[in-house]
Amino acid sequence: MNDRNGVAIVVVLFFAFSIAVILFFMAHSNTNLAYQNKQTLYQMQAYYLAQSGMQHAKLQLRLLPKETYEFFAGSGSGNPYADIDSSNYPPTAMGVFSKDSASYDLFKSGMAPDNKFPYGGRYLVDRFELLGSHDRMKMVQDGYKIVVKAEVDGGRGKTFAEELSEDIIVSRYTGGIK
**Residues numbered 3-22 forming contacts with another protein, rule: CB under 8 A:** 4-9, 11-13, 15-16, 19
Report how far residue 178's alpha carbon sits from residue 176's, in angstroms, rounded to the nearest whole number: 7
Among the listed ranges 45-53, 136-144, 153-161, 162-170, the one in contact with another protein (CB under 8 A) is 45-53
Question: Which contiguous run of DSSP H or E holds residue 163?
Answer: strand 159-171
By CB under 8 A, name the one of 26, 131, 139, 161 that touches another protein. Answer: 26
Helical packing angle, 65-73 and 7-63, nearest 10°: 90
On whether the CB atoms of residues 170 and 141 are closer than 8 A, the answer is yes
- Where does the chain have alpha helices with state H? 7-63, 65-73, 99-102
Interaction site with another protein (CB under 8 A): 1-2, 4-9, 11-13, 15-16, 19, 23, 26-27, 30, 33-34, 37, 40-41, 44-45, 48-49, 51-52, 55-56, 58-60, 62-64, 67-68, 70-71, 73-76, 80-81, 83, 86, 89-92, 94, 104-107, 112, 114, 117-119, 121, 177
